[in-house]
Amino acid sequence: MQDSYVTADGRTIGATVMEMKNITLRFGGVTAIKDISFDIREGEVRAIIGPNGAGKSSMLNVINGFYHPQEGEVWFHGKRRHEMKPHQIAKQGIARTFQNIALFKGMSTLDNIMTGRLTHMKSGLFSQMAWWGGAQAEEVANREIVEKVIDFLEIQAIRKTPVGRLPYGFQKRVELGRALAAEPKLLLLDEPMAGMNVEEKEDMSRFILDVNDEFGTTIALIEHDMGVVMDIADRVVVMDYGKKIGDGTPDEVRNNQDVIDAYLGVAHD
């Protein structure tokens, strides 16, 4: 495969960041993912789609290292990745959002996003408790980054509001904010538009594209809404029953017979 390609809207996509080679993931007797290979390239918006139970969320968990596949290899930044401890997972520069929002409901928007900075903080528990020396300077520096995220996502008005009180669309946005605050190299979004109305979807699409455009962040996302996926993704992987049935640009995928069959159903003879 060539080293880079140019997208439909004229962006140049760089070299491979992550490569999945023949991944198989089993839970006991259930095979969630079966012999799947694909890559994610620097600066692209990569979508993973498929019907319910296709194994999309499992795939996302393999990408960020939370699940370790029984077979196959994951290559990240040119190195083969082995099974990791949770703190190693957190520090590899991959941030994610969750399908069913996982925020600290009683904490404010600001504090929630601040937790995204945790892996970047060096001062220890005691100096943070004493609020002394490096800890103070560190918090100020991190707060600056968090404030830029708040500004970017236009959520200044809810900065001090406990997230439990926010409407769903805003909670999704706060979760994106927390992921962005970690300054990830690779951002994983698990159904960022689920349960949103058209206007909220439009807002979210714009933020995703802006993140990609402004910060050059590579994005992998799972999404049900085909319209959204086809609009914002550069390349799409299609999964069905744990298998890959299609991979390519939105246009290629749209015309792929296997994909059409998986989505619209097909008469079995």
List residues binding another protein (CB under 8 A). 9-10, 110, 143-144, 147-148, 150-152, 154, 156-157, 159, 210, 213-214
Nearer to another protein, 26 or 159 (CB): 159
Place of tokens 């992921």: 179
Residue 159 CB, shortest distance to another protein, in Å, is 7
Report the distance separating Cα 257 and Cα 269, nearest Å. Answer: 17
Nearer to another protein, 64 or 212 (CB): 212
Nearer to another protein, 49 or 187 (CB): 187
Residue 208 CB, shortest distance to another protein, in Å, is 12
Contact yes or no for 86/39 (Cβ under 8 A): no
Contact yes or no for 225/50 (Cβ under 8 A): no
Residue 184 CB, shortest distance to another protein, in Å, is 19
Measured at the CA of 34, the angle between CA 220 and CA 212, to 5 degrees, comes to: 5
Residue 70 CB, shortest distance to another protein, in Å, is 43
Nearer to another protein, 9 or 269 (CB): 9
Residue 26 CB, shortest distance to another protein, in Å, is 44
Continuous segment of H or E residues that includes residue 226: helix 226-232
Report the distance separating Cα 118 and Cα 121, nearest Å. Answer: 5
Contact yes or no for 193/230 (Cβ under 8 A): no
Residue 1 CB, shortest distance to another protein, in Å, is 26
Other C-beta atoms within 10 Å of 229: how many? 21
Return the C-alpha torsion angle 155, 161, 165, 169, nearest 10: 10
Nearer to another protein, 71 or 213 (CB): 213
Nearer to another protein, 63 or 110 (CB): 110
Pairing status of strand 218-222 against strand 45-49: parallel
